[in-house]
Amino acid sequence: MKVFAVSDLHLPGNQEKPMDVFGENWAGHFEKICEDWKSKVCEEDVVLLAGDFCWAMTLDDALSDLAKLKDLPGKKVFVRGNHDFWWSGITTLRASAPDSSFYFLQNDCIRFDGLVICGSRGWSCPGSADFAEADEKIYKREGERFRLALQNAGKVRQEGDILICMIHYPPFNMKKEPSLFTEQFEKSGADIVVYGHLHQNAGNYTRVYERNGIKYFLTSCDLLGFRLAQIL
pLDDT tens digits, one per residue of 158-201: 999 999 999 999 999 999 999 999 999 999 999 999 999 988 77
CB 120 within 8 A of CB 87: no
Share of the chain above pLDDT 70, in %: 96
Encode pLDDT of 117-148 as tens digits.
999 999 999 999 889 999 999 999 999 999 99
pLDDT top residue among 129 and 153: 153
The side-by-side arrangement of strands in the sheet containing 208-211 is 108-112, 115-120, 162-167, 192-195, 214-218, 208-211
What pLDDT score does 28 carry? 87
pLDDT at 58: 95
Query: Which of 99, 52, 114 is CA-nearest to residue 78?
Result: 52
Per DSSP, 125 falls in state P
Q: pLDDT category, 26, cuts 50, 70, 90?
A: confident
Judged on CB neighbours under 10 Å (0-12, 13-18, 19+), 100 is exposed
Q: For residue range 72-86, what is the model confidence (pLDDT) as tens digits?
A: 999 999 999 999 999
Report in angstroms the alpha-carbon separations of 110 from 4, 11, 66, 180: 16, 25, 19, 22
Indicate the domain borders of the chain.
Answer: 3-230
66 vs 72: CA distance, rounded Å: 11
Q: Count Cα neighbours of 123 within 13 Å in the Cβ-side half-sphere.
A: 17
Q: What is the pLDDT of residue 13?
A: 80
Rounded Cα–Cα distance for residues 31 and 162 (Å): 31
Query: Domain 3-230 has what CATH class?
Result: alpha beta
